Structure 1
Amino acid sequence: MAANKLINFRCPDDLLNAIETYGREKYPAVPNKRGSIEYDQSKAIRDILISGLEALTNGEVKIEKQIYPAPDNKSDAIAAQIIAQFEERFQKIENALFGE
């Protein structure tokens, strides 16, 4: 089993642009064979995630827990389940990183 896991998520364009800008500044790289990636994505995203988790953990940033309404249909129920699973996994990551 690999030590690192792959995550995949959708990201709005403005957030993706901010990640790319950070990555190009901190982890520049030679463009890949397709010429599209000019920075080390893994290192950039890892920095951002770790910094965000540290800010949340030490209280610099607070995220209000969202209350989700009862789902109206099957797709809403699936979305609510995915969100709940994400929140649970995020908590596990935070606990693993910071030992809480």
Structure 2
Amino acid sequence: MSRNRSLEEIQKDIKTLTRVPSEFIHAKLDELAEEVGELAKPNWIPCSERLAEDAVICYSKEGDMLIGFLEKSETGYIACDDDGTTLHNCVAWTPLPEPYKGE
């Protein structure tokens, strides 16, 4: 499933379903549900592929996570946060979500 479509584009597709035959609606709803599910999944990027320039969520091969900055070391990839906590053996990272804006 491609993650190239925005949530707004998917919502537009849902609105158009009110004007089509019902057999098409069921097939399209299944497709849209899968697409929305894909959007909700974090997009993990291997450290070996590229490093982030900003703070990110880092994931280690032991299954631990830390919000911090990634760097390459002699032994692999390490993440460090503002308090000096480090996470060794990082294998992947994902961008931080958008900040909460309130209601």
- Give the structure, 1 or 2, with the largest relative contact order (CA under 8 Å, sep 6 or more): 2
Structure (1 or 2) with the larger CA radius of gyration? 2
More helix by share: 1
TM-score (norm 2): 0.22
